[in-house]
């Protein structure tokens, strides 16, 4: 992707850049031509996941012992960026590889890791995490789904919504109350196979953007799983979520920064070609000044994200820093896309244009992974 930024990127090593070329070719060959079909189907086909697995593009951070490449977060960030640069929408690789799989690698027993992680790397098993509920979004302490212990089994009852990879997933990390009276101290994480009796998927949710992202409801009606499906320790789930949510939020920030950069480059190209009143749109001072403002803000975003990327590759990124990155980058992206879309005139309202898809696809970034308001609350607690 051509860029209008001049900031030198030094966070990545040569092995990261080699992966970037592989990812770029894969997206151009296997994903971009299928985007329209995915949008119509409301989900990405499984063969694309299997091909990504064969090329080593899934779960790059999983240890070689479990079939992965043992990469650092820089490898994940390269994949996230290239998907954003390519304009591919609805591909659930990031959630699968960089949000859910780390729970299993960090908290799973040897048996759990041996059973699931190699198939996550190959794409044979697709992962989802079931947190949000109809009455509980960012407030995870308010979840009502329960997992009642009966002998050597948990009996799970409840409903979940806004579950990404919800239609395709084979394994779900379910956030449930194992001690309903204990609030946040009664939350556990439990692995639930999609083949379990009593588990069913609801409707595919009709979203404003990301048509190819299979976001669905889930229902658990007396779903029985063995106690061995518990992930980590019982009633420690809330603490686990708080630790892993930092990476989820930074994933969103990395994605948003790349999209901001890509749409600035795309809009600059467009206004230099589009003619109005006998001159290009770029020839108007208002256009040049607006692009200059957005370039300055995009550069500030890039510097922030790359600095935090270095920290996270060294496993030093804090919960507060991840919250600041998500808050600042997604809010700046939202403002920039509105201004860039305006420079397209009427064509900015047509879904065939990249700016329009970006506008609707990225609005959710200020919501999922914790709303901007929740990010402010987390940041303010450290002040």
End-to-end Cα, the chain, rounded Å = 39
| Dist CA 331 CA 162 (whole Å) | 21
Per DSSP, the residues of 198-212 read TEEEEEEP--SS-TT
| Dist CA 26 CA 207 (whole Å) | 27
Report the DSSP pairing between strands 153-163 and 187-193. Answer: unpaired
Helix or strand run (H / E) with residue 287: helix 285-313
Per DSSP, the residues of 292-324 read HHHHHHHHHHHHHHHHHHHHHHTT---HHHHHH
Angle subtended at Cα 164 by Cα 38 and Cα 315, rounded to the nearest 5 degrees = 115
DSSP 124: S
| Dist CA 40 CA 139 (whole Å) | 33
Q: Phi/psi at 146 (nearest 5 deg)?
A: -115, 150
| Dist CA 58 CA 161 (whole Å) | 25
Number of H helices, E strands in the chain: 12, 10
Burial 190-202 (b: 16+ CB within 10 A, else e): bbbebeeeebebe
- The sign of the dihedral angle between the CA atoms of 14, 19, 21, 24 is negative
Tell me whether residue 248 is one of the annotated catalytic residues. Answer: yes
Q: Exactly one of 81, 133, 217, 248 is catalytic; name it.
A: 248
Residues in the chain: 383
Query: Residue 328's closest CA among 348, 308, 356?
Result: 308
Residues noted as catalytic? 248
């Amino acid at each position: 992707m051509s860029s209008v930024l001049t900031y030198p990127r030094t966070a990545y090593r040569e092995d990261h850049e080699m992966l970037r070329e592989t990812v770029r070719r894969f997206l151009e060959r296997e994903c971009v031509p299928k985007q329209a079909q995915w949008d119509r189907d409301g989900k990405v086909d499984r063969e694309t996941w299997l091909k990504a697995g064969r090329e080593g593009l899934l779960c790059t951070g999983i240890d070689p012992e479990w079939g992965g490449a043992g990469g650092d977060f820089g490898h994940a960030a390269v994949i996230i960026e290239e998907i954003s640069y390519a304009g591919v929408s609805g591909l659930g690789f990031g959630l699968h590889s960089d949000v859910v799989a780390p729970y299993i690698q960090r908290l799973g027993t040897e048996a759990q890791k041996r059973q699931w992680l190699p198939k996550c790397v190959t794409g044979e098993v697709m992962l989802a995490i079931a947190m949000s509920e109809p009455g509980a979004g960012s407030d995870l302490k308010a979840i009502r789904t329960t997992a009642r212990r009966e002998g050597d089994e948990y009996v799970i009852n409840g409903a979940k919504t806004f579950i990404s990879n919800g239609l395709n997933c084979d394994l779900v990390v379910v956030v449930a109350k194992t001690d309903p009276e204990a609030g946040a101290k009664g939350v556990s994480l439990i692995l639930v196979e999609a083949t379990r009796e009593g588990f069913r998927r609801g409707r595919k949710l009709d979203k404003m953007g990301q048509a190819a992202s299979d976001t669905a409801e889930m229902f658990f009606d007396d779903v029985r799983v063995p106690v061995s499906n518990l992930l980590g320790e019982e009633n420690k789930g809330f603490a686990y979520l708080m630790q892993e949510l930092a990476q989820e939020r930074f994933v969103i920030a990395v994605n948003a920064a790349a999209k901001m950069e890509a749409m600035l480059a795309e809009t600059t190209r467009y206004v230099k070609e589009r003619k109005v009143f006998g001159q290009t749109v770029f020839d108007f001072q208002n256009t040049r000044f607006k692009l200059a403002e957005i370039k300055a803000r995009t550069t500030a975003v890039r510097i922030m994200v790359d600095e935090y990327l270095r920290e996270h590759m060294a496993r030093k990124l804090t919960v507060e820093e991840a919250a600041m990155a998500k808050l600042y980058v997604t809010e700046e992206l939202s403002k920039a896309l509105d201004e860039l879309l305006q420079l397209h005139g009427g064509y900015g309202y047509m879904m065939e244009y990249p700016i329009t898809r970006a506008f609707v696809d990225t609005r959710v970034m200020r919501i999922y992974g914790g709303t901007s308001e929740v990010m402010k609350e987390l940041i303010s607690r450290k002040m």
